[in-house]
Structure 1
Amino acid sequence: MQTSELQWTSQEQSIAKAAFDKAYEREIKALVQVVRDQASAVADTDDVWRLHDFLSARRHELDGKYDGREAALIFVFADLVKEGWLSLDDLNGLDALKLSKITALTRMM
């Protein structure tokens, strides 16, 4: 079965939404700390533009990474687990097939 063909129950949709939101919140919290650290070191205009460029790049990356479409969630969750923003425990309640696909993808990515 292709990942795009996986059916998500309403309970799984709730679990996925909570995990998705938790990962996003964790990553944004870490980003805010990095921005605070970088902003405290701003000394001139070049530093301001470097911070701007950094934030623009991160926004682009995050907008692409957090794809909430059901067809993409298996890949999104695998990426987030691999990066440490989620653990497999955060996904408890998803069916075994989805969890096994996520686990396998974390090893391949």
Structure 2
Amino acid sequence: MRFKWSDSEKKVARRAFDKALEKEYAAIIAKFKDMAAKAEKPEDLWAVHNYLTKQQRALDEKYDYRYSELILVFARLLSEKWIDEKDLNGLNPEKLQAIRNLLSW
């Protein structure tokens, strides 16, 4: 289903999207710092590298800010607890219901 996004909804969407991305980056940085601090052997360095590469791919796949994809993106971010439903206050009820429907699958 295609949705039209009002200017106010675009602002809500951008804030929620950026909040989730910022929180996820913070989690990745914290894990990176922990892994780097514990690194003692050369293979530990490659484990850090592999972790970061995997996270970069996951972020690139997940964070797609095309309006045609945002309903799916927000359902995923909600299910993974990167945002709360209150972060989406301001989206029209039809969009919120579409997100809830995806979550119930």
Bucket of the pairwise TM-score, normalised by the shorter protein = over 0.9
* Displacement of 1:101: 0.7
| Aligned match for 2:83, one of 77, 81, 86 | 86
Instruction: State the distance in 1 between where 2:20 and 2:55 align.
Output: 15
Q: Which residue of 2 aligns with 1:64?
A: 61
RMSD, matched Cα: 0.6
Instruction: State the distance in 2 between where 1:34 and 1:72 align.
Output: 28
* Displacement of 1:71: 0.3
Unaligned runs of 5+ in 1: none
* Displacement of 1:43: 0.5
Q: What do the CA deviations read for 1:70-109 (whole angstroms, capped 9, x no partner)? A: 000000000000000011100000000000111111121x
Q: What do the CA deviations read for 1:3-54 (whole angstroms, capped 9, x no partner)? A: xx20000000010000000000011111111111111110011000111011
1:55 is the counterpart of 2:26 = no
Runs of 4+ residues deviating >2 angstroms? none
| Aligned match for 1:44, one of 41, 49, 65 | 41
Number of residue equivalences: 105
Instruction: State the distance in 2 between where 1:92 and 1:67 align.
Output: 20
1:1-109 equivalences under 5 Å are 2=1, 5-108=2-105
Instruction: State the distance in 2 between where 1:34 and 1:104 align.
Output: 32
Instruction: State the distance in 2 between where 1:53 and 1:89 align.
Output: 34
Percent identity between the two aligned chains = 38
User: TM-score, normalised to structure 2's length?
Assistant: 0.98
- Secondary structure, in 3 states, of the residue corresponding to 2:68? helix
